[in-house]
Structure 1
């Protein structure tokens, strides 16, 4: 028989890091794939204007509206289901937190550094009622996909 002492809390970011092949194509860190996953989120949330800026150090995805508004949880902190993407769909922000060297976001609610020490290209950016997510093109733990 199991009791409360047998239940252990699982850190969602650590769980994702433990299985990179489940969350990253071919087990490698691919900024283009991650950016396209963010764009997919934006479009599936009914927002038609989205922009991607991919540089050598950062990738920024910006939308005219906040695609994370109204969620039941913060996808930068835990796995949040994304039913619009299918039965096992989840918001990719948690994957960014697990593998990117830097992650930052800005919206009407303010800006914050999620991973790392810098807002990167989001410093001083005003997205109005929209949202932008910036993430490093380099990974902390997963090999980069060729």
Structure 2
């Protein structure tokens, strides 16, 4: 039997956003993007990672999750660009912020010192990050096209 060998040219990069969109039913109970469910997932992450005061706010087209602890500090921008393991929530768990990027029309994040548009050509929703908020993640209820 011939031995198969593989080199760097044989490795294909995973299209993360394509994978998430093709498998949408695996991430949402209803089988399709649900912004309210996603806000709950993100709030649960913050709670598991040590935040004590977490809020979900609705402002028109936007949902915002805020917390008194920056639950994304260890992950920074990677939380919005890659499927990251979240073992604190159980086997096969992942951080949910990437789902906002895959399915929502707009995503922003901020800390007490920064603000950033992650996806879309949007401004932050009306609520600024205040002194009691260490991290805010906002995303649009509207699905990306």
TM-score band by shorter chain is 0.7 to 0.9
Q: What SS is found at the alignment partner of 1:60?
A: strand
CA contact (8 A) 2:17 2:102 kept: yes
Mapped to 2, the partners of 1:88 and 1:65 lie a distance apart of: 24
Q: How many residues align?
A: 140
- Which residue among 21, 26, 29 is the counterpart of 1:25? 29
Root-mean-square deviation (Å): 1.8
Counterpart residue number, 2:101: 97
- Structure 2 residue runs without a partner (length 5+): none
Mapped to 2, the partners of 1:4 and 1:122 lie a distance apart of: 47
Mapped to 2, the partners of 1:126 and 1:27 lie a distance apart of: 32
User: TM-score, normalising length from structure 2?
Assistant: 0.87
1:85/1:27 Cα in 2 relative to 1: closer, same or farther (>3 Å)?
same
- Which residue among 66, 71, 79 is the counterpart of 2:70? 66
1:136/1:73 Cα in 2 relative to 1: closer, same or farther (>3 Å)?
closer
- Structure 1 residue runs without a partner (length 5+): 142-146
Larger Rg: 2
Q: What SS is found at the alignment partner of 1:17?
A: helix
Is 127-136 or 37-46 further displaced after alignment? Answer: 127-136
Mapped to 1, the partners of 2:112 and 2:120 lie a distance apart of: 21
Q: What SS is found at the alignment partner of 1:32?
A: helix
CA contact (8 A) 1:106 1:122 kept: no
1:57/1:27 Cα in 2 relative to 1: closer, same or farther (>3 Å)?
same
Mapped to 2, the partners of 1:133 and 1:112 lie a distance apart of: 10
User: TM-score, normalising length from structure 1?
Assistant: 0.87
Mapped to 1, the partners of 2:126 and 2:17 lie a distance apart of: 23
1:127/1:78 Cα in 2 relative to 1: closer, same or farther (>3 Å)?
farther
Between the two structures, name the one with larger relative contact order (CA 8 Å, sep ≥ 6).
1
